[in-house]
Amino acid sequence: MAGEILVATNVLEYPYTRTVGPVLGAFFTGLREGRIQGVRAADGRVLVPPTEYDPLTSEELTEMVDVGQAGVVTTWAWVYAPRPLHPLDRPFAWVLVRLDGADTSMLHALDAGEPERMSTGMRVRVRWREGRVGEIQDIACFEPETPS
């Protein structure tokens, strides 16, 4: 029909491979081995995930340190309807987690089952994925430390 507005599906696909550098490389190598490492800043703070440069002072950082595999939730958001690309296909919480021994918190998903189990400050621990390859998804998600 003349004049009718056309629509075409357009899929954008970038098969990016990203080189990760020495610090994130060590972090991802550690994840593959089932360890979590941060990087120590000049003032003693431990940043997890680690960065090559201190985000506050821009100093180069190189000293990797192991941190715990459990920690506390510093903030959270409950997802009632997960999106197709989300890490879990059932309702879950996005969380910022400060791991034991770390001074910053990292983003990940928490498999808590229901929002009533959530609270800021709750203890959570890593749930590793089978067949780790050295990427952030090697942490399948976090789970509450105390079973429901």
Partner 1 sequence: MTEAGPDPNEPVRSIRAPVHLEYHFMPGRASSRFLRGVEQGRLLGQRCPQCAKVYVPPRGACAACGVPTDEEVEVADRGTVTTFCVVNVPFHGQKIKLPYVSATILLDGADIGLFHLLQEVDAEKVHMGMRVEAVWAPPEQRKPTLESILHFRPSGEPDADYETYKDHV
Partner 2 sequence: MRDVAVVAFAQSRAVRAEEGANEVEILMPVVSAAIERSGVPRKEIGFTVSGSCDYLAGVPFAFVQGLDAVGAWPPIRESHVEMDGAWALYEAWVRLQHGDVDSALVYAFGKSSLGDLPQVLTLQLDPYCMAPLWPDSISIAALQARAWLEAGHDEREMAEVAARSRKAALANPMAQVAQDLTPEELLKQPYLVSPLRRHDCPPISDGAAAVVLAAGGLAREVSERPAWIRGIDHRIEPHGLGVRDLTHSPSTRLAGERAGVGRATVDVAELHAPFSFQEVILRQALGLGPDVEVNPSGGALAANVMMGAGLVRIGEAAGRVSDGGAGRAVAHATSGPCLQQNLVCVLEADQ
Verify binding: residue 65, partner 2, rule CB under 8 A: no
Q: What DSSP letter does each residue of 51-72 carry, written as one string?
A: -SB-TTT--B---EEEE-SEEE
Cα–Cα dist 97/120, whole Å: 10
Which one among 1, 80, 146, 147 touches partner 2, defined by CB under 8 A? Answer: 80
Residue with tokens 């003693």: 44
- Part in contact with partner 1 (CB under 8 A); list of ranges 46-54, 56-64, 73-81, 130-138: 130-138
What are the φ and ψ backbone dihedral angles of 120, each rounded to 5 degrees?
A: -65, 135
Verify binding: residue 81, partner 1, rule CB under 8 A: no
Which one among 108, 110, 124, 126 touches partner 2, defined by CB under 8 A? Answer: 108
For partner 1, give the closer residue by CB, 15 or 44: 15
Binding-site string for partner 2 from residue 3 to residue 42, where x marks contact by CB under 8 A and - marks none: --x----x-x---x-x-x---x------------------
Verify binding: residue 116, partner 1, rule CB under 8 A: no
Which letter does DSSP use for residue 117 in this model? G
**Least distance (Å) from partner 2 to the CB of residue 87?**
5
Collect contacts of 15-24 with beta carbons under 8 A, ≥24 apart: 21/52, 22/52, 22/62, 23/50, 23/51, 23/52, 23/61, 23/62, 23/64, 24/49, 24/50, 24/52
Q: Give yes or no for a contact between 96 and 73, defined as CB atoms under 8 angstroms apart.
A: yes
Which residue ranges make up the site for partner 1 (CB under 8 A)? 1-20, 25-26, 28-29, 32, 133-136
Which residue ranges make up the site for partner 2 (CB under 8 A)? 5, 10, 12, 16, 18, 20, 24, 47-49, 51, 55-56, 74-80, 83, 85-87, 94-96, 98, 104-109, 115, 120, 135-137
